[in-house]
Amino acid sequence: MNEITSILESIPVDPLTGAIAVPIYQTSTYVQEAPNVNKGFDYTRTNNPTRNILEEIIAKLEGGKYGLAFSSGLAAIDCVVKLLNAGDEVLAVDDIYGGAYRLFTTVYNRFGINIKFVDTTDPENVQNAISPKTKLIWLESPTNPLLKVSDIRKISEIAKANNIIVCVDNTFATPISQKPLNLGADIVLHSATKYLGGHTDVLAGLTVTNSDELGEELKYIQNATGGVLAPFDSWLIIRSLATLKLRVEKHSANALKVAEFLEERPEIKDLYYPGLKNHPDFSVASKQQSLPGGIVSFSLNEDTEENAVRFVTSTKLFKLAESLGGAKSLLCHPPSMTHKSIPRENRLEAGISDSLIRLSVGLEDADDLINDIKQALSKIINKNETVEVN
């Protein structure tokens, strides 16, 4: 049976009314018959029926046992990092999400948790960077914005041999395309603000693990620190999950068409899309992902910030905005937007050039999106001779 169908079928219909949609239990507390004699609920920070259903669905969808829902992706990251102690070290993918970079380098450093960045596309770099202090390996695959892919299975094997926890931020791939727990990771994490929410109208974060020990610890920290997802926002994510497979398939098909179009254009310098054969990580991506995803990044041959700004202010369907993964196509200029907290020198070193543009390809018709890109390309400075491609 279709995986999402069978997961949604496993959620019991509301026993009180038979409501077909999951009810929103908009309550902070629950009446008790006597102290600690209740129906399994005492306070919404600890448990809420609507949030619990979302946590159960995401656990099943990621092939895990314990799911948790948070008020944002960063709140989920915060919960995972709080598994660590002062003096511990994190090894992280060098092309890490900008908000996670900021959190690790300006907040956790003050608590004695240090981070080392590694090019994780080669598992050997991970092996070589491990020290006795390393307690957590932080992967994103594909990454934001360069779509680098890391071999989750190989890195998880290295981690296991060294007693290190592996957490994979699966926001870009989604569980429809990639299931990190099945590849050996210990924790999988989402900014559900992106594809899982899918309609650019809610912030949410999720974690899933298979380990009884990690499941219990994460639940304890979630309740102790309190960054839980509200009942209504939990309901929005539940509602969106029914269409997740359809959406991710369409995002991927559209993005592949856009990438193939850009591949032929003379205005483009570098093109990043793991569904193209000349992407450096194409073979790992094809092994661990069933779909290449909806994000395409590229730089311009006239590689300046001004030129990128010309492009991002010329598109009509692609709206200039942070975030990604929604029905509506968005684009952004990471150097001046999502990655502005990374110093230019470090950014260039990481391969994020001044004109880098990231597309979040939406659910519109691919032809309309390509026409929009075509007209925006006619507005920019092009160092090469333009060849009309039909």
Ligand X SMILES: *Cc1c(COP(=O)(O)O)cnc(C)c1O
Count of residues touching ligand X (by CB under 6 A): 15
Map residue 16 onto helix, strand or coil.
coil
Smallest separation, CB 121 to ligand X (Å): 16
As beta bridge partners, residue 357 has: 298
Q: Which is nearest to 387 in space by CA: 265, 298, 301?
A: 265
Which residues have C-beta within 8 Å of that of residue 263, sequence separation ≥ 6? 271, 276
Q: Does 169 bind ligand X (CB under 6 A)?
A: yes
143 token code pair? 């990454």
Q: Does 200 bind ligand X (CB under 6 A)?
A: no
Nearer to ligand X, 118 or 173 (CB): 173
CA distances from 5 to 28, 60, 230, 291 (A): 31, 12, 25, 19
Smallest separation, CB 325 to ligand X (Å): 8
Q: Does 194 bind ligand X (CB under 6 A)?
A: yes
As beta bridge partners, residue 168 has: 139, 188
Subset of 54-93 contacting ligand X (CB under 6 A): 72-74
Catalytic residue flag (residue 39):
no
Residue in 8, 11, 47, 99 binding ligand X, rule: CB under 6 A: 99
Residue in 141, 171, 240, 289 binding ligand X, rule: CB under 6 A: 171
Nearer to ligand X, 57 or 332 (CB): 332
Subset of 314-343 contacting ligand X (CB under 6 A): none
CA–CA distance, 376 with 366 (Å, rounded to integer): 15
274 token code pair? 């793991």
Catalytic residue flag (residue 119):
no
Smallest separation, CB 140 to ligand X (Å): 5
Smallest separation, CB 165 to ligand X (Å): 17
Q: What is the dihedral of CA 101, 244, 147, 123, to 10 degrees?
A: 80
The answer to whether the beta carbons of residues 300 and 380 sit under 8 Å apart is yes
Subset of 250-289 contacting ligand X (CB under 6 A): none
Residue in 175, 205, 274, 334 binding ligand X, rule: CB under 6 A: 205
The catalytic residue among 148, 154, 194, 250 is 194
Smallest separation, CB 178 to ligand X (Å): 13
CA–CA distance, 4 with 176 (Å, rounded to integer): 9
Catalytic residue flag (residue 42):
no
CA 321, chain centre distance (Å): 17
Residue in 134, 144, 174, 360 binding ligand X, rule: CB under 6 A: 144
Q: Residue with the closest Cβ to ligand X?
A: 73
Largest CA distance in the chain: 79
Smallest separation, CB 324 to ligand X (Å): 7
Q: Where are the alpha helices (DSSP H) in 205-342?
A: 212-225, 231-241, 244-263, 282-288, 305-312
Q: Does 141 bind ligand X (CB under 6 A)?
A: no
Nearer to ligand X, 72 or 353 (CB): 72
Catalytic residue flag (residue 367):
no
CA–CA distance, 271 with 263 (Å, rounded to integer): 7
Q: Does 97 bind ligand X (CB under 6 A)?
A: yes
Nearer to ligand X, 72 or 240 (CB): 72
189, containing H or E segment: strand 187-191
The catalytic residue among 78, 94, 169, 372 is 169
The answer to whether the beta carbons of residues 73 and 233 sit under 8 Å apart is no
Positions marked active-site = 45, 97, 169, 194
Binding site residues, ligand X, CB under 6 A? 72-74, 97, 99-100, 140, 144, 169, 171, 191, 193-194, 203, 205
